[in-house]
Amino acid sequence: MPLPFVYSNQDYVTDVCRSRGNTLMPAKFDSTVQAGWTDRMDRGLFRYHLGDLQTRILPGQLGFVAQLNIQRGLERRKPQEILSIQQEFNAKQFNFNKINPEEIICEMVKATEGGHERGQQHPPCKMVVLVNVSPLEFGHCLFVPDPSRCFPQVLTTFAIQVGVESVLLSSDPGFRVGFNSLGAFASVNHLHLHGYYLDHELKIESMPAKPLAPEKGFYCLLDFPGGFLFYTESEQVEKVARAVCRVTDFLVERNIAHNLFLTRGCPPCESIQSEKDRCSRKGVRIAVWPRISCFGAKEESAFNVALCELAGHLPFKNKKDYELTTERDVTGIIKRYLLPDEELHTLEQQLAHHLMNL
């Protein structure tokens, strides 16, 4: 078993910004993940070798980042059959207890007073970080809360909190974390989040947002694709993680599929900010997209609409679509998976009320 990666709140990197020439030294977290990932790639543990991917920015207002990743479409493990957002864990299907132990990069351990979280009677859950053997991009790894506890693919406060913490532990504004629920193109029903590096700015980092319950860090995204947004800096991580989980629990209880995307971002604002504010990456934006469920649906030929596509990162499966697809084509595909505006607006009111009454 690799050595544990021990961290505390003092390891958060708070001076990140999105501007040219302002690059920070890799943080301890980045060095651990990147060195471990590269080592496993060099040792041939992946399904394919991931080199530099062909990348282009689609012309238009939304700044979609298109990448050609043919091998992921061909070589990735066949997704499990998913019938319900609340489907129970099935030990007979593939899960992360069946992986090659060599795929594990580290186990994240948060240092706390007395060796355990205050008020907890049981040891805290551990977070195992392993390589994704069918990578989307450089450093693509999976965060799996204590695999032996066999949690189904339903978010917990702990999983969200460590996802936010991992973004804060990175000095790279291109490190992202995401989650696909069942019915939202999750391919394995065993609780996990994705993490990877994408060295391109995404609109979600600075997209304007309207406050819904700002004291809970809860906003509504004002641009395409419509959804919800949480924002936190280092001091409010636990509080915001609990609020995000209350929203995802609400969605699970109502069988609404959803995707999450966590990234460095500027504080939410309804209008264009100053250049300084727009470039600030001190905090973490957590986008939540409720969406139409897909159970046993035929996959799109160009790209599937999951966590990274909704955030503006498009891994294409074939060269023709990569070269010819336009921003209009992309928005047309994505809209097929989004909730209708009226349904989203009703959900917005319900969630704001739900959060304010907790």
20 — pLDDT class (breaks 50, 70, 90) = low
Residue partners of 36: CB distance under 8 A and separation at least 6:
2, 105, 106, 129, 131
Q: What CATH topology corresponds to 19-356?
A: HIT family, subunit A (3.30.428)
Please give the single-letter amino acid code of residue 302.
A
Structure tokens at 37: 């990932």
Query: For the chain, what percent of residues have pLDDT higher than 70?
Result: 92
pLDDT at position 119 over 60: no
More confident site: 71 or 123: 71
Residue in 12, 62, 15, 357 with CA at minimum distance from that of residue 218? 357
Please give the single-letter amino acid code of residue 329.
D
Question: What would the mean pLDDT of 104-109 be, rounded to a whole number?
Answer: 96
pLDDT in tens, 275-333: 777 788 999 999 999 999 988 755 667 888 999 999 999 999 999 999 999 999 999 99
Question: What would the mean pLDDT of 86-91 be, rounded to a whole number?
Answer: 95
pLDDT at position 50 over 60: yes
| Least confident segment among 81-95, 122-136, 229-243 | 122-136
pLDDT for 128 equals 97
pLDDT for 81 equals 80
For residue 131, what is the enclosing H or E element?
strand 127-131
pLDDT for 250 equals 97
More confident site: 227 or 121: 227
| Averaged pLDDT score across all residues of the chain | 91
Catalytic amino acids? 192
The residue written with tokens 């702990």 in the block is: 158
pLDDT for 302 equals 80
Give the residues across from 338 on adjacent strands: 291
pLDDT in tens, 59-71: 999 999 999 999 8
CB-CB contact of 225 with 311 (8 Å):
no
Residue partners of 95: CB distance under 8 A and separation at least 6:
89, 147, 150, 188, 189, 190
2 — pLDDT class (breaks 50, 70, 90) = confident
For residue 68, what is the enclosing H or E element?
strand 65-68
Question: What would the mean pLDDT of 124-149 be, rounded to a whole number?
Answer: 94
Question: What would the mean pLDDT of 259-281 be, rounded to a whole number?
Answer: 84
Q: Please report, for the chain, the start and end positions of each structural domain, with discontinuous segments joined by +.
A: 19-356
Question: What would the mean pLDDT of 238-260 be, rounded to a whole number?
Answer: 97
| Whole-structure pTM value | 0.94
What radius of gyration, in Å, describes the C-alpha atoms of the chain? 19
pLDDT for 121 equals 44
Residue partners of 127: CB distance under 8 A and separation at least 6:
107, 108, 143, 144, 145, 146, 158, 159, 162
pLDDT for 45 equals 95
pLDDT in tens, 152-204: 999 999 999 999 999 999 999 999 999 999 999 999 999 999 999 999 999 99
* H helical segments located in 178-280: 237-253, 275-279
pLDDT for 337 equals 95
pLDDT for 74 equals 74
pLDDT at position 17 over 90: no
pLDDT for 125 equals 75
pLDDT for 118 equals 45
